[in-house]
A and B are shown apart, each in its own frame.
Chain A
């Protein structure tokens, strides 16, 4: 652990103050950071990570509704759950490639829309600089949804049945029962999952972006990870390292938050 984390974590901070490649490093102080912060491509990347944050509430809300429905002891509930969970275990690379074919300008989705005389809805999902990141968000939701469902279902299952029973006797309707009685009880889990998914969209979405849009068109759907990868592949190690340090800073705050939320969740 010391080797895989300790050494590179120290090294990456050191590297971020140097320019040139690693065989002939030149000390440049904070210049890498200055360069990065004034680079529009970097700003676009970090902005896209922020946009992806919007996927989190959508995914969690949808996951929660599915879990609540499943919690109604619905017939075949286990089967539904295992189908919904399946995308989560599949390789994002393979799935992302399939989505890229589905969403292309002349891909399956647009061709079907045109066939259904809904050609007006056929946008260039990956080639349009505003829509590309939205498509990435959609893919993230598609793959991560099952995770939320399973976590929420487990949390609901662990609740004592008495409170729900009491509410039902008091004449609470279905929605009332769900929103007033059940959801508040699993709040700690919802909070924990929120933090975890925020960490995911800030720092674990390279796969999706790389195969779906490769950050394009231009830098319009780039994210911080992809920016690091691009700088690094073009030999700008110092730049890559300084973005890595910033990303690490954000991640640390979130990780700290997750530890704290986790403690709350375990305590209740």
Chain B
């Protein structure tokens, strides 16, 4: 018995040691970003690691007051809010129709969504760009909003149909047998039940849009229209010898995501892994 007890203690310790190493590896780059952003450039060039002994807010202040970063952040915010709002609204209605309306071909419609979910956006880039040039939307935020919305919708539909299927059909039938029209049922019964699911969906889509780079890079090429991620890559090229300044920008772009993650972790986990669930 004693040997098995010792054995299990060794196992427990090694398990924790293993997990702690993994966690440190996951966190180190974040620590690097945060600690570097608080270092002066001179201090960084001397010693890039360790605890910042003379923390300074110079880089962060420069980013916020002397660089276009706030503008880009605002652009990213606008783009995120509009494309997520449109796609969520559209997906709620479409999924409702597909699950409860059961129109002809609804299952084909849903499996099409599942397939489109993983179509690489890069393959759609060239024609979409031509289209945006022809309609004069290039270099305007609308161009990426339209494209992002289109890219988000398949996942949103997939996600919402998955959720709607868990709502008991009897509930809907009972309501409609009492004379409630499809819109009333949607507004009075389905919507109030979908609060948590919609929120999860919104979080996942918002993260995706906020983090997107390729499309923003191609569609928004003038300085004032850039999104935050596209702007960050500009800093990377512009301030090659001022790492703390560039990482101050990176830190500011990560911060909203981390705050959101810490406040609603379960929504992230559930939503981001939904593509793989049943």
Chain A residues, Cβ within 8 Å of B217: 210, 229
Other-chain contact of B261, A86, A174, A207, A256 (Cβ < 8 Å): A86
| Cβ-defined contact, A15 with B127, below 8 A | yes
A150 touches B32 (CB 8 A): no
Tally of B interface residues using CB under 8 Å: 76
Given contacts A94-B33, A146-B26, A210-B233, contact A1 B154 (CB under 8 A): yes
Report whether B19 and A232 are in contact in the complex, using a CB–CB cutoff of 8 Å.
no
B236 interface neighbour in A1, A211, A258, Cβ under 8 Å: A211
The reply to whether A206 and B122 contact each other, CB–CB distance below 8 Å, is yes
Contact residue among B32, B149, B214 (Cβ-Cβ distance under 8 Å from A108): B32
**Complex Cα spacing A154 to B269, Å:** 10
Chain B 187-216 near chain A by CB (<8 Å), digits 1 or 0: 000000000000000000001001101100
Residue pair B124, A189 in contact (C-beta under 8 Å): no
The number of inter-chain residue pairs (CB within 8 angstroms) is 232
1/0 contact trace for A84-96 toward B, CB 8 Å?
A: 1111111111110
A72 touches B15 (CB 8 A): yes
- In the complex, A27 has a CB within 8 A of chain B: no
Bound complex: CA of A94 vs CA of B212, how far in Å? Answer: 11
Q: Flag the segment in B52-60, B164-172, B245-253 that touches A.
A: B245-253
A:155-210 near B, CB below 8 Å: 174, 189, 192-193, 196, 199, 202-204, 206-207, 210
B1 in contact (CB, < 8 A): no
B119 at the interface (CB under 8 A from A): yes
* Nearest-Cβ distance from residue B265 to partner chain A, whole angstroms: 6
Q: B269 → chain A, closest Cβ, in Å? A: 6
Q: Is the CB of B214 within 8 A of A196?
A: no
With a CB–CB cut-off of 8 A, which chain B residues contact A265?
278
- A251 CB contact (under 8 Å) in B123, B125, B126, B269: B123
Of the candidate stretches B63-71, B109-117, B175-183, the one touching chain A is B109-117
Inter-subunit contact B122/A5 (CB<8 Å): no
Task: Say if the beta carbon of A36 comes within 8 Å of chain B.
Answer: no
B residues with CB within 8 A of A: 11-12, 15-16, 18-19, 22-23, 25-27, 29-30, 32-33, 36, 48-49, 111-116, 118-120, 122-131, 133, 146-147, 149-151, 153-154, 207, 210-211, 213-214, 217-218, 229, 232-233, 236, 243, 246-247, 249-251, 253-254, 257-258, 261, 265, 268-269, 272-273, 275-278
14 residue pairs of the A-B complex, CB under 8 angstroms, read A7-B131, A8-B127, A86-B26, A87-B29, A91-B211, A94-B229, A97-B246, A99-B29, A150-B272, A204-B120, A206-B122, A206-B214, A232-B125, A240-B125
Enumerate chain A interface residues (CB-CB to B < 8 A): 1, 3-5, 7-9, 11-12, 15, 22, 66, 69-70, 72, 74-75, 80, 82-95, 97-102, 107-108, 111-112, 142, 145-147, 150-151, 154, 174, 189, 192-193, 196, 199, 202-204, 206-207, 210-211, 225, 228-229, 232-233, 237, 240-241, 244-245, 247-248, 251, 254-256, 258-259, 262, 265-266
